[in-house]
Structure 1
Amino acid sequence: MTALKIGACLKAAEIADHRDWLFDTARDIEIQDFMSYAALTTEFEARISAVKSALDGHTGRIGIHGPFEGLDIDNKDAELQPLITARLLKALEAADRIGARQMVLHSPYSLWFQNNVFSWKGYAETKLDRIHDTLGPVVKAAKESGQTLVIENIQDVRPETRRAMVDSFGSHAIALSIDTGHAQLARRMSGAPPVEDFVRDAGDQLAHVHLQDVDGHADRYWAPGEGEIEWTAVFRALADCESAPHLVLELRNKNHIPAGYHHLRALGLVT
């Protein structure tokens, strides 16, 4: 099995603490400075400058995490939908200006959806229409600027549901993201498949992975090795993926990035 190179999710002010590890071997970086209202409005230019400065000299791949709180991409309110679209377009502009080619957005699917999909006629189709109304202009803008939106599993139970949503756009500007911790939580809480199966279902549509460990109870953002995820199985599936997804540690305590990396390296899974 081929060992894979991984990077990390960080804010601009945190990059210096991990600069040698990230920069010396051009590791993936996901910037997490553009998720809030302030970041995309009053603080926008200052954050652009800070991120550019922090990334100076980095030659690896860059992505950002897009905004999500209160910004459901299947929002039912016709007056709110354009506001959500505008906020996502502003985040895409931030990504472009710092040289990021990828932006993470949250999936709108859940156990509620899976259990109720046949309860109302046209339920799935109506939901998908709302997603297209909100996200369509963002996918178009991403295509024009050479960027990719990656849709992260949050409460998803069936990975193929999110994959079908991505497929429905018929565009290379939208692809799949997997959060390993979220997938494991869905397995324990909702009977979802193992994390490995999320990866295998995504196949070559997989463009991005958040690497975090959990205990099966809550969204811990622990370093690999601290929870219960079967990392060898996950990386076996990732090694078979020909799309070379961004692989980034997303940890609550950034001081644990070295420990998470060394745990995976000791297993022979990463370089």
Structure 2
Amino acid sequence: MAAASGGHPGGEAVGGEPPAREQAHNPPHPLAAQRSPLLGAALMVADLEQHRDWLVAGRRDVEIQDPCLPEVLDGDWRALARRARALLAGHGGRVGIHGPFLDLSLAPFDRRARELTIERLRQGLAFAAELEATHMVVHSPFLSFGHGAYTFQPAARRARELAAARAVIEALLPLCAPIGCTLVIENIADGSPLPLLDLVRSIGSPSVQLSLDTGHATIMQALGAPAPDQWVREAGALLAHLHLQDTDGALDRHWAPGDGSINWFALFEALGELAHQPRLLLELDDHRQIPRAAAFLAGRGLAR
């Protein structure tokens, strides 16, 4: 979920190709031309109309982010979901949502905390059903567990944390399959993909897969975590979804690609090695930058 960080380096949203001078210094990467994956966007319902033509014309994937907010789930969320469906009529792309995460843990040891998490995530799935959404983003619980010490952590402790996460996820699975919605677990402060991969593999359900947030992965590189492209290679067939955002590594900026330090050529080269196409959602703090972000990646032959 994009969060305000102050001071965006981009100007007003613009479309089209990068300037000729910039193209000369940044020619399309030769390996990137092997594929041209399709970009989509993560948006609030209030911002859908502004980007509707772009989404519909390209049959692009879209993610509705409103249901991550508790005030939405405590209000008339069905009317909001119907509004989103009306705006996306004839859209043709895949639709998903960002599930609730504020004050929630996907792996709580406290029984009452677990009950609250399950209740809120069930509400998220109800919103997904109303919208006919086929993915719901949930946040990784491994805020300190997923670093290099994971390898040396006592097996009993690792098993306990994985079991706590499975208890929540397995309570949701009976709701996922009937509505065709996949839970995608997004890296947050994870220093390694290994705990998330262990969790997804231990559940062994096609309704639970991985999500990669490129900015989150980049921030954690300062603590020795792998780069976003290495996350792609480690996750492999389990990677179903990406939040594309740039950062300088200092904060969770949610800048447009090209405004930070991420190596986008390396990321899309890794994506091109996959046998499937994950959903690629631009998740920007300023949704008005979406045309410029898409033009940056398209102008380098990385995406369309």
TM-score (norm 2): 0.85
Cα root mean square deviation, aligned: 1.4
Q: What is the identity, as a one-letter code, of the residue corresponding to 1:244? A: Q
Identity within the alignment, %: 38
Matched, 1:134 2:168: yes
Larger Rg: 2
Indicate which of 52, 55, 60 corresponds to 2:88: 55
Partner residue in 1 for 2:58: 25
Partner residue in 1 for 2:248: 215
Q: Distance in 1 between matches of 2:208 and 2:155?
A: 27
Q: Distance in 2 between matches of 1:34 and 1:247?
A: 19
Matched, 1:194 2:230: no
Partner residue in 2 for 1:168: 202
Equivalent residues, number:
270
Q: Distance in 2 between matches of 1:215 and 1:155?
A: 16
Partner residue in 1 for 2:27: none
Q: Distance in 2 between matches of 1:116 and 1:81?
A: 26
Partner residue in 2 for 1:152: 186
Partner residue in 2 for 1:241: 274
The answer (yes or no) to whether the contact 1:29–1:63 under 8 Å persists in 2 is yes
SS in structure 1 opposite 2:281? Answer: strand
CA pair 2-124 structure 1, distance change in 2 beyond 3 A: same
CA pair 171-121 structure 1, distance change in 2 beyond 3 A: closer
Matched, 1:267 2:295: no
Deviations for 1:73-109, whole angstroms, at most 9, x for unmatched residues?
1112112212211110111111121111000000011
Q: Relative contact order: is structure 1 or structure 2 higher (C-alpha 8 Å, sep ≥ 6)?
A: 2
Matched, 1:231 2:264: yes
Q: Which runs of 5+ in 1 are unaligned?
A: none
Instruction: Quote how far apart the aligned CAs of 1:16 are.
Output: 1.1
Matched, 1:11 2:11: no
Q: Distance in 1 between matches of 2:270 and 2:213?
A: 14
Q: Distance in 1 between matches of 2:257 and 2:184?
A: 22
Instruction: Quote how far apart the aligned CAs of 1:116 are.
Output: 5.4
Q: Distance in 2 between matches of 1:124 and 1:59?
A: 42
Deviations for 1:216-254, whole angstroms, at most 9, x for unmatched residues?
111000000000000011001111222311101000001
TM-score (norm 1): 0.95
Q: Distance in 2 between matches of 1:252 and 1:48?
A: 22
The answer (yes or no) to whether the contact 1:143–1:172 under 8 Å persists in 2 is no
Q: Distance in 1 between matches of 2:235 and 2:148?
A: 22
Partner residue in 2 for 1:179: 213
Q: Which runs of 5+ in 2 are unaligned?
A: 1-33
The answer (yes or no) to whether the contact 1:184–1:195 under 8 Å persists in 2 is yes
CA pair 116-204 structure 1, distance change in 2 beyond 3 A: closer
Q: What is the identity, as a one-letter code, of the residue corresponding to 2:111? A: A
The answer (yes or no) to whether the contact 2:82–2:130 under 8 Å persists in 1 is no
Instruction: Quote how far apart the aligned CAs of 1:121 are.
Output: 5.9
Partner residue in 2 for 1:45: 78
TM superposition outliers: structure 1 runs of 4+ over 2 Å: 110-121
Q: Distance in 1 between matches of 2:156 and 2:199?
A: 15
Indicate which of 97, 110, 122 corresponds to 1:77: 110
